[in-house]
Amino acid sequence: MKNNFTSEILIEGMEFFAYHGFYPEENRIGCKYTVDLRLTLPLDEPGATDNLMHTVNYEEVYILVRKEMEIESKLIEHVAQRIMSALWAKYPQLQHIDLNLYKYNPPLGGQVARVGIHLYE
């Protein structure tokens, strides 16, 4: 029996220490980042078969995100776009990606907990 579920896989709070930033000291000192993902795709088949080959492998997603986070960039917008592009290329069955990338304690001249970028398509 086919249910035609559309579901979301959530991978939240992936933490990384990376060296992104416009200012040279950001590239030298680095800081904490987190990434949250909401991946929309049909999950009827993996739900019925219990087969990892029919869904998104969370570990592979984490490794993909980690690899993109390791590439130094000036803008977190650039990092987020690279992550999105890599996810689309790896998982063509995705229908929608929602990504939040946060940078903690940015050097803005005052106390700011985090800044972030939200991409979705």
Domain of residue 22, CATH code? 3.30.1130.10
Does 121 reside within a domain? no
- Tens digit of pLDDT for each residue in 2-21? 566 678 999 999 999 999 99
Catalytic residue check, 103: yes
Does 77 reside within a domain? yes
For 92, list phi and psi in degrees, rounded to 5: -65, -15
Does 74 reside within a domain? yes
**How many Å apart are CA 72 and CA 16, to the nearest integer?**
12
Model-level pTM?
0.90
Q: Which of 2, 67, 74, 103 is catalytic?
A: 103
Does 87 reside within a domain? yes
Does 62 reside within a domain? yes
Where do the H-state alpha helices sit in the chain? 24-29, 44-49, 58-69, 76-90
Domain of residue 18: give its range: 14-106
pLDDT of residue 5: 63
Residue 93 DSSP one-character state: T
Does 118 reside within a domain? no
Total structural domains in the chain?
1
Q: Which residues of the chain have pLDDT under 50?
A: none
